Structure 1
Amino acid sequence: MANTWQQLVADKRNRQVASIPKDWLLEDPPAADVLDVTRIPETCGILTAQEIRITNASVGTLLQNLSAGEWSAFEVTTAFAKRAIIAHQLTNCLTEIFIDRALERAKELDEYRRTHGKVFGPLHGLPISLKDQICIKGLEATMGYASWIGRYSTSNSVLVDTLESLGAVLYVKTNIPQTLMFAETNNLVFGRTLNPYNRSATSGGSSGGEGALIGLKGSPLGVGSDIGGSIRIPSGFCGLYALRPSYGRVPYAGNVNSLEGEDSILSVLGPMSNSLDGVKVFMKSVVGQKTWERDPLVTRMPWDEAEYSLASHGGGRNLCFAIIWDDGIVVPHPPITRGLEMTKRALLAAGHKVLDWKPLKHKEMYDIALGIWGAASAEDYKAVTATTGEPVLTTMDPEPDQDTYNTQRLRLGDTKGSTAYELWQVQRRKREIREEYLQYWNDTIINTGTGRPVDAIISPVAAYAAPPHGQNRDANYTTVWNVLDYSAAVLPVTKVIPSLDVQRPAHKFYDHHDRYNYELYNPSKFAGEPVAIQVIGRTHEEEAVIAMAEIVDAALQAQKARL
């Protein structure tokens, strides 16, 4: 008799628990009502002072010390592995845990450096965490499906081979929502991931495990995927730096995914990190490996140092940014607006120009995305779960019976489906609106005073900081850039401060979604949570977007230093 899906889950959970080193278990885990757990890794007594120094270091510092031999790959891997296990106990962020394998790899890298007197590659000894869907030979990639338990990857994905060829150490994989098509993280196999700044709030999704892990510094650099905001939303909610590259810059071949065969709005892989140098070193290293020779869908486009130097953007001097204050769908909460205002002041003080950006047809683009994903998504989910009969989740709400607000909006694209002809018309409209948006951006040259169109757009990541579990209703501030295939970076700006971020008087609501969002806000409910922004460039402008994100981040840091 075949195992039921519940039996498969019980076995998988037992195997996961067995993979956790017992010496790294918390003796006195915090009670459920302890919401902010960001200080616990450094105060619980499991990490040594040296391990705290290592795990608090930026990616640039880690690579410098690994290259100089001041820190060994073994001690760096051990430090992050221990902190990852602590993070998991606090937020439930991990899926696959293979630390013994990682430590053997670290020993080999240390031996290579001793023998050859040089590092193995530009990522020598750097621990990198991976979203669960990324395939590593010999490990499972269940993607939150009970039906995929016991399916072991027979080979590495192209990205895994690439990272290992660069000297990286892979040690854990991280939690996701069932189907990947939620902006939150919960599934029947591993359960729900919590936000380290407020465990009553979501870590975001679908790369929510990465967000929580890196937010607690259990990883210096991780890889997420993004089809409608799945890198950017967790990064924004957990206070990280990140990049959603355009399609074709980072190899995707060899991984598992949802909606396979939907080739109109495609998922991309990208970096998530506690530092912008982590984002840069990932992109520069990976695109420098000619992965188009191993993945036919990768664009033949090596790292362009001239573009990183902003050769197409006046060399980075006298830049002109445009801010989206409101996308015409949902009005942001007060702390999000304050983060945008802080960014504007910082950029003006740094000598750059700032304009307002009036969104062009963002609601239509969001509906286009839902129409494309929804064309056959329900069939896709049913095909996967048919082998075991596991339920397909329709909500992330912990109490779905209490949820009176259209829970289906939680999952992107779960609709009644469409005919092939109907899908073609939606895809045709997507192409047309990309052409319109390109012209709309080009036409800003008449207002910038730089002789160029706007250099980058600054936008909220979401209309709110991390909301309570089950309340992340929209991904409209991120999804539009997937429709346009624009490159978008995320960087943290501030945190919610109730005394500053008081509720505003009610505005004229766009619709019931906007009203719901307004009524959701309570300053004390969001207190202390990260507030982030996106820095958005055009298609395949990854190098320039990273450079402009560095400029924005530096301006913000300089502003904070003046206060």
Structure 2
Amino acid sequence: MSWKALVEEKRQRQAASIPQDWLIKTPPASQLDVIPVPAECGLLSPQELEITDTIDVGVLLRKLASGEWSAVEVTTAFYKRAIVAHQLVNCLTEIFVEKALARAAELDAYLKTNGKVVGPLHGLPISLKDQHRIKGLETTMGYVSWIGQYADKNSVLVDVLYEAGAVPFVQTNVPQTLMWPETFNNVFGRTLNPHNRTLTSGGSSGGEGALIALRGSPLGVGSDVGGSIRIPSTFNGLYGLRPSFNRVPYAGATNSLEGQESVVSVFGPISNSLNGIKLFMQAVIAGKPWLKDPRALRKVWDDDAYALGDHGGGKGLCFGILWDDGQVVPHPPVRRALEMVQAAIQNAGHKVVKWEPFKHKEICTLLPKIWNAASAEDFEAVTSAIKEPIISSMVPSEDDSTIETEVSLFRPDEKDKGISAYQMWQLHKELLSLRQEYLDHWEGTVSITGTGRPVDAIICPSAPYAAPPHGKNWNVDYTMVWNSLDSVACVVPVTKVDISRDVATQREGTFYSDIDKRHFESYDPEIYTNAPIGVQVIGRPQEEEAVIAMAEIIDAALSGFKK
């Protein structure tokens, strides 16, 4: 079969997997904000709306554990809402209703018979980015070439989630190769942002971001090698955690650039609930993934770290704020979000200092060299058998306008096609040296905090703009710098673009570059109507517990602060 015939056959099978009585009358394309549609479309019952509108994952789990809501009821509610979301923004890949409901029924029977839950995630529906292998299902990862390849066993994280009592119920859309900060592929097409469908949902976990924003899933699993959890989380108004290398198991999942071990991809949670982020990490770590994945760290959940034992017990924290990265200055709404966070945490009794972008340009120049050292061969190895075209741009076909740096950043050019092992080693040495310098720089901030400690965490943008139009997400420096340093990073949503407040302003002084100038001149608040804005909370490597705790402090400060 030709690649186009394979796509047509796959799309027909996907459509057939959707219960026909779950189809709705979709709004016209002119309706940009579709967040209200699931509640208004008439498909979900009042109880199903109550279930899916329950933001706090901890509340869902308590109701499941008590039997107030059955796993079948909760799974059905979220499944119906996920199918509605898919009709609005095209966010799903694999849909397996019968398999998920059978799993939920088993959990209900176990609870009734034994009077206890299977595990800490008992009955909770969990969505999975289209990298996770589930026995008996396809995982294409946006490649036509992988249509028809069925998993003979689960990936390790899927097994850990099943053992914790979870109900995996959908897989979500990604860009071909994963190596894009947007979501489009030849198999399933483009995922849209539900807050404004002319804008990108981000990537590469864009299907997860769009689905969870529409509350079609209470908790999802994305992956992140350069920002692929944090960018969709920010663009869709969600919480998301990028853990350190190997804290969450990866074995058995599909991936791009496998064998590249200098800056590796990590799995992490995305949720409408910060509590969901914490509960996911606790449950996965409690599953002792190091007994199933040889690279998973043997590191239990650290209650003292979560209590901020190394950070003054969470009293009188000192945060560094990165206002810009020395390369591209953020748009006005992003600046306003940083100012809101600064005011809120100061009002809560914490201190703020300015964080300088120490060698960020050097770090962000180095990582694409590592990615592109063999990425052309990697992509070609997958696509060549059926002559599947490798996507070279996320710009919609009817729009040929983009910032020309897009292709050179996310796709290797001719000079990147292969370097020697020795040359790769030199890149690794350079990166290790930069990590050492950054550590020393961070430690040196003890002289400016007034706490007797270095800066406790850094607060910074996830991107220099809110979610941009499709094909225009060309800058990932604000996220990938932390992948290079293996820093833990948690996104906290802050606000939305307000066209009356986030007006275009005059820029004083010189620009960092022509790119910075063009970025500044391109700002029009009307383009970003209704787009969410969040910030990243950055900690040290392996500080998941502390970063989650500090994210909770910032989130609470924002909630209690009169803006």
TM-score bracket, shorter-length normalisation: over 0.9
The CA deviation string for residues 268-294 of structure 1, in whole angstroms up to 9 with x for no partner, is 000000000000000011011111111
Match of 1:39 in 2: 36
- Cα distance in 2 for residues equivalent to 1:412 and 1:474: 13
Within-5 A mapping of 1:79-98: 79-98=77-96
- Cα distance in 2 for residues equivalent to 1:408 and 1:65: 48
Within-5 A mapping of 1:46-85: 46-57=43-54, 58-85=56-83
Is the alpha carbon distance of 1:230 and 1:449 closer, same or farther for their aligned partners in structure 2, counting shifts above 3 Å?
Answer: same
Shift of 1:120: 1.0
Shift of 1:404: 6.0
Shift of 1:412: 5.9
Q: Which amino acid aligns with 1:440?
A: H
Match of 2:266 in 1: 268
What's the C-alpha RMSD, in Å, of the aligned pairs? 1.1
Q: Which amino acid aligns with 1:544?
A: A
Shift of 1:443: 0.3
Match of 1:518 in 2: 520
- Cα distance in 1 for residues equivalent to 2:420 and 2:504: 45
- Partners of 2:95 and 2:171 within 8 A in 1: yes
- Cα distance in 2 for residues equivalent to 1:53 and 1:413: 47
- Cα distance in 1 for residues equivalent to 2:337 and 2:182: 23
SS in 2 for 1:211: helix
- Cα distance in 2 for residues equivalent to 1:401 and 1:358: 36
Match of 1:30 in 2: 27
SS in 1 for 2:268: strand
Q: Which amino acid aligns with 1:219?
A: S
Is the alpha carbon distance of 1:50 and 1:413 closer, same or farther for their aligned partners in structure 2, counting shifts above 3 Å?
Answer: farther
- Cα distance in 2 for residues equivalent to 1:18 and 1:53: 28
Match of 1:408 in 2: 407
Match of 2:432 in 1: 431
- Cα distance in 2 for residues equivalent to 1:215 and 1:207: 12
The CA deviation string for residues 132-188 of structure 1, in whole angstroms up to 9 with x for no partner, is 011101111100000110011111000000000000001100000000000000000
Task: Give identity over the alignment, percent.
Answer: 59
Q: Which amino acid aligns with 1:460?
A: P
Match of 1:190 in 2: 188
Within-5 A mapping of 1:254-265: 254-265=252-263
- Partners of 1:410 and 1:472 within 8 A in 2: no
Shift of 1:411: 1.6
Q: Which amino acid aligns with 1:525?
A: I
Shift of 1:454: 0.3
- Cα distance in 2 for residues equivalent to 1:353 and 1:338: 18
Q: Which amino acid aligns with 2:234?
A: G
SS in 2 for 1:14: helix
Match of 2:452 in 1: 451
- Cα distance in 2 for residues equivalent to 1:412 and 1:117: 54
Is the alpha carbon distance of 1:413 and 1:342 closer, same or farther for their aligned partners in structure 2, counting shifts above 3 Å?
Answer: farther
Match of 2:533 in 1: 531
- Return the match for 1:206 from 198, 204, 213: 204
Moved over 3 A (4+): 399-404, 412-417
Match of 1:215 in 2: 213
- Return the match for 1:549 from 541, 548, 551: 551
Alignment partner of 1:242 is 2:262? no
- Cα distance in 2 for residues equivalent to 1:250 and 1:412: 28
SS in 2 for 1:332: coil
- Cα distance in 1 for residues equivalent to 2:148 and 2:529: 41
Shift of 1:413: 5.5
The CA deviation string for residues 337-388 of structure 1, in whole angstroms up to 9 with x for no partner, is 0000000000000000000000111111111110000101011101110110
Shift of 1:410: 5.3
Shift of 1:237: 0.1
SS in 1 for 2:305: helix
- Partners of 2:392 and 2:411 within 8 A in 1: no
Is the alpha carbon distance of 1:456 and 1:407 closer, same or farther for their aligned partners in structure 2, counting shifts above 3 Å?
Answer: closer
- Cα distance in 2 for residues equivalent to 1:397 and 1:408: 10
Structure 2: segments with no counterpart, 5+ residues: none
Is the alpha carbon distance of 1:37 and 1:23 closer, same or farther for their aligned partners in structure 2, counting shifts above 3 Å?
Answer: same
Q: Which amino acid aligns with 1:52?
A: L
Of 107-116 and 399-408, more deviation after overlay is shown by: 399-408
Structure 1: segments with no counterpart, 5+ residues: none
Q: Which amino acid aligns with 1:121?
A: G
SS in 2 for 1:387: helix
Match of 1:149 in 2: 147
SS in 1 for 2:520: helix
- Cα distance in 2 for residues equivalent to 1:478 and 1:258: 19
Within-5 A mapping of 1:100-499: 100-399=98-397, 401-403=400-402, 405-409=404-408, 411=410, 415-499=416-500
- Cα distance in 1 for residues equivalent to 2:264 and 2:123: 31
Shift of 1:204: 0.2
- Partners of 1:395 and 1:410 within 8 A in 2: no
SS in 2 for 1:425: helix
- Partners of 2:18 and 2:83 within 8 A in 1: yes
Shift of 1:32: 1.1
- Count of residues in correspondence between the two structures: 558
- Cα distance in 1 for residues equivalent to 2:266 and 2:184: 21
Q: Which amino acid aligns with 1:371?
A: K
- Cα distance in 2 for residues equivalent to 1:325 and 1:248: 30
- Partners of 1:365 and 1:483 within 8 A in 2: yes
- Partners of 2:461 and 2:478 within 8 A in 1: yes
Shift of 1:416: 3.8
The CA deviation string for residues 95-114 of structure 1, in whole angstroms up to 9 with x for no partner, is 00011110011111011010
- Cα distance in 2 for residues equivalent to 1:374 and 1:110: 48
